[in-house]
Structure 1
Amino acid sequence: MIDKIASSVAEALHGLADGSTVLIGGFGTAGIPNELIDGLIAQGARELTVVNNNAGNGDTGLAALLKAGRVRKIICSFPRQADSHVFDALYRSGRIELELVAQGNLAERLRAAGAGIGAFFTPTGYGTELAKGKETREIGGRLHVLEYPIHGDLALIRAERGDRWGNLNYRKAARNFGPVMATAARKTVASVHEIVPLGVLDPETVVTPGIFVTHLVQVPRTATQGGGFRKAA
């Protein structure tokens, strides 16, 4: 019987090695799997390469992982915002490496990993520092830059509902990078707020099929979740 429900975050994250590449879903604070990140901190893996749209907000979630000194390198599109003080301090002191990637390229590099594409050409970034040292080619009269997929050892994503086979759907903006990251990693752990019996999820609403999910963990819904949701009174 297929049952991908883990009894705890610790069980789901067991065995992650130092130096792994971890894809973490989220766009700002929308869709950030905070419980899974807290579990990653407790798990203890170090020298990680983390892929996310941002580089942490405030002192929780991804910022807490950075503050704990577990991340060697971060690959993201928007490393700085008003409350990115943890990343700012680490970067200015030379304690973290940054690879800046245009947001569309970040999404496409993850999608390419999941689709088995070896590399692709894109005009985005040509003529900027982001294209420095990269192969270029003229296609259709326009210059393009060669980009490579981003593969992950582990993806941590937050979904809304799931079943024991690992089928997932998402809540609005919390969806963001979760679906492509699930396809791009060797192992995917999803937190969900509700686990439903098989057959409850309409196949037409399943965004991430269970074949891409290794474990799911049910977590409580807090008073305020990323993406603007607030629990009804």
Structure 2
Amino acid sequence: MINKISKTVPEAIGNVRDGSTILVGGFGTAGIPNELLEGLIQIGAKDLVIVNNNAGNGDTGLAALLRAGLVRKIICSFPRAADGYVFEELYRARKIELELVPQGNLAERIRAAGAGIGAFFCPTSHGTQLAAGKETRVIDGRPYVLEYPIHGDLALIKAEVGDRWGNLLYRKAARNFGPVMAMAAKRTVASVHEVKELGAIDPECIVTPGIFVSSIVSVDRVPSQAGGFTNSNS
């Protein structure tokens, strides 16, 4: 019987080797798998390469991982934010590397990894410093830059609903990079707020099929400052 539900976050994540490339879902603070990132900190793997749209906010989640000194390099589109002081401090101190990737290119490079595409030409970044050292080609009179896929050893993503086969549904903007990252990694771990019985999710509504998911773990919703509960990071 296939059952991908783990009882704890460390059990869901499993072993992580030093130097691993980890794809982390989320866009700003929407859809960040904070509980999984906390578990990754506990595991303690070092020299990690993190792929995310941003470079952390405040002191939690991705920022906490950076603060713990476990990340060697981050690949992202928006490293600067009003509350992105952890990354900024580390970068100014030359304690972390940065690969800046235009947002569309970032999504497509991850998607290409999941789709088995060896490389692709894209016009974005042509004529800028981001294209330095890359192959270029003129196609139909327009210049393009050759981009390569971003493969992950592990993807950590946040979903709203899952079942024991690993099928996933997302909540609104919290969906963002989750589906393409799940396809681009050797292993994918998803946190969910609700676990449904097998067959309770309409197959036509499934966003990420369980074939791309290694394990899921149920996490509580985060209490809001105004009382009650909210979907964390969404």
Q: Please, what TM-score do these two structures have when normalized by structure 2?
A: 0.96
| 1:112 CA displacement | 0.1
Q: What corresponds to 2:233 in structure 1?
A: 226
Distance 1:110 1:201 in 2: 27
Q: Does 1:157 align with 2:154?
A: no
Distance 2:79 2:91 in 1: 10
Alignment of 1:120-159 (within 5 A): 120-159=120-159
Task: Look up the equivalent residue of 1:24 and give its one-letter code.
Answer: V
Q: What corresponds to 2:24 in structure 1?
A: 24
Q: What corresponds to 1:98 in structure 2?
A: 98
| 1:101 CA displacement | 0.1
Aligned length: 227
- Structure 2, unmatched stretches of 5+, are 224-229
Q: Please, what TM-score do these two structures have when normalized by structure 1?
A: 0.97
The DSSP-based 3-state class of the residue aligned with 1:55 is coil
4+ long deviations beyond 3 Å = none
| 1:107 CA displacement | 0.1
Deviation string 1:94-150 (CA, Å, 9 cap, x unpaired) is 000000000000000000000000000000010011101000000111000000000
The DSSP-based 3-state class of the residue aligned with 2:157 is strand
The DSSP-based 3-state class of the residue aligned with 1:134 is coil
- Structure 1, unmatched stretches of 5+, are 228-233
Deviation string 1:157-208 (CA, Å, 9 cap, x unpaired) is 0000000000000000000000000000000000000000011101111000
| 1:216 CA displacement | 0.1
* CA RMSD, Structure 1 to Structure 2 (Å): 0.5
Distance 1:20 1:12 in 2: 17
Q: What corresponds to 1:57 in structure 2?
A: 57
The DSSP-based 3-state class of the residue aligned with 1:95 is coil
Deviation string 1:67-94 (CA, Å, 9 cap, x unpaired) is 0000000000000010000000000000
